[in-house]
A = this chain, B = another copy of it.
Amino acid sequence: MNYTFSDRIAGMKPSAIREILKNTSDPSIIPFAAGNPAPEAFPVEAVRRITDEILSEHPIAALQYSITEGYPALKERVRALAAEVSAVGPDDELIITSGAQQGIELACKVLCNEGDTVICEDPSFIGSLNSFRSTGAKLAGVPMDEDGMKLDVLEDALKNGSNVRLIYVIPNFQNPSGRTTSAEKRRAIYELAKKYGVMILEDDPYGRLRFSGQDIPTIKSLDNDGIVIYCGSFSKILSPGLRVGYVIARSPIIAKITVAKQCEDVHTTILSQMIAERFLAETDMAAHFNKLREIYRHKSSLMLSAMEEHFSHDIRWTKPEGGLFLWCTLPHGSDMPEYCRRAIANKVAVVPGIAFNPDETAPSDCFRMNYSTPTDEQIVRGVEILGKTDF
């Protein structure tokens, strides 16, 4: 049988990163292409003990159907966590989602008709871009300076885009670029969104992983007008495999996201939610965040100093103040895809920058590197190999 698929899905391909990762399950390949938290960042002992307690004390609650909105006790704890970064106000509601990925997809699904426009940073996180595409939305990319989107291009996109409904931003240690949007630009983006009556989708999975510089207020903290949808995640601070994230926004938005989530998966795995709740309840989270920051401060420094030593100075790269990624730019006109193929042949996987282009046909001189997944030894060896790879 010849199958025909819906317009929104027919042209879509699996995420380039996840395809690269499937092909590099070969342990001899150094994994600079992934985005996995470091294994040493998982609180394994605590999760094992907590899970056993939950399944001893509340087995039926942990295994039975639950409500779409999320486990009430977890919602309370997430509210407190989000309050620490002023990402929740008294008028805001909250829903637990199956990872932030689901929150991002649902926000777009409830707001955008097919053909409506989502403005995003260029480059941006491929998982989110594909989510937007899967709902039938069109993407308009706005190039970035080191401190965030170019505001004149953003205003132009807001003014001239067709049915612009959302501005998607990852303000802290952006994936893939590692860049952080400055306080001034956050405010300017907020004011522009307000001026043009467009909502902001603020994606903040890495906010707690700042290992240098000063915290910058979330865009959500400016939200007196109810125009910001904030997505958070347990993937980088507890475990991605549990698939627990959350969305914070005004209640009419959360009500529609709830209806749409019910249609997708009824509710998020309740055992995962109970584990996350008890972990927040019993952990000194400030100390836990410090431990995570220490891990990533060390790994990023190791990678950056190895790059300083081994990379040609014709290659430029970002110096992130947190998060998991940095972004390299080959001299203009280099054959970046060929460079990435050579790297793989030399047993180092990086992600070609094209994967993160809102416009899939645009060329790129860039590639993304990750320092959270590889071991220290792999970081040093991998950078050395990349330094010897021709571009």
Contacts and interface: CB of A to CB of B under 8 A. Distances in A.
Contact of A101 (B18, B36, B242, B265): B265
Given A227-B1, A265-B102, A63 B258 contact: no
Contacts of A127: 262-263, 266
Interface in A303-352: none
Given A18-B68, A262-B127, A262-B130, A110 B241 contact: no
A53 B56 CA distance: 15
Interface residues of A, number: 83
Given A51-B52, A253-B3, A12 B260 contact: yes
Nearest to A49: B55
Copies in the assembly, this chain: 2
Interface in A106-160: 109-114, 116, 127, 130-131, 133-134, 136
Interface in A1-59: 1, 3, 5-10, 12-15, 18, 21-22, 34-37, 39, 42, 44, 47-48, 51-52, 55-56, 59
A115 to B, nearest CB: 10
Given A48-B56, A60-B42, A6 B265 contact: no
A44 B64 contact: no
A39 B62 CA distance: 11
Nearest to A98: B265
Contacts of A89: none
In this complex, the member of A9, A55, A250, A258 whose beta carbon has the largest number of chain B beta carbons within 10 angstroms is A9
A259 interface: yes
A203 interface: no
Interface stretch (A74-82, A176-184, A207-215, A268-276): A268-276
A90 interface: no
Nearest to A60: B39
Interface SS of chain A: helix, strand, loop or mixed? helix
A8 to B, nearest CB: 8
Interface in A61-105: 61-68, 98-99, 101-102, 105
A236 to B, nearest CB: 11
A110 B12 CA distance: 10
Given A56-B48, A59-B48, A226 B1 contact: yes
A52 B136 CA distance: 42
A187 interface: no
A105 to B, nearest CB: 6
Nearest to A4: B111
A238 to B, nearest CB: 8
Given A65-B240, A134-B263, A269-B271, 18 more contacts: A1-B227, A5-B256, A6-B111, A10-B256, A12-B256, A18-B67, A18-B68, A35-B65, A44-B60, A48-B52, A64-B240, A65-B235, A98-B98, A98-B264, A101-B266, A130-B259, A130-B263, A134-B260
21 contacts: A1-B225, A5-B256, A6-B110, A6-B111, A6-B113, A6-B116, A7-B113, A8-B113, A9-B260, A18-B68, A21-B67, A34-B65, A36-B65, A39-B60, A44-B59, A63-B239, A64-B241, A65-B241, A66-B241, A241-B270, A271-B271
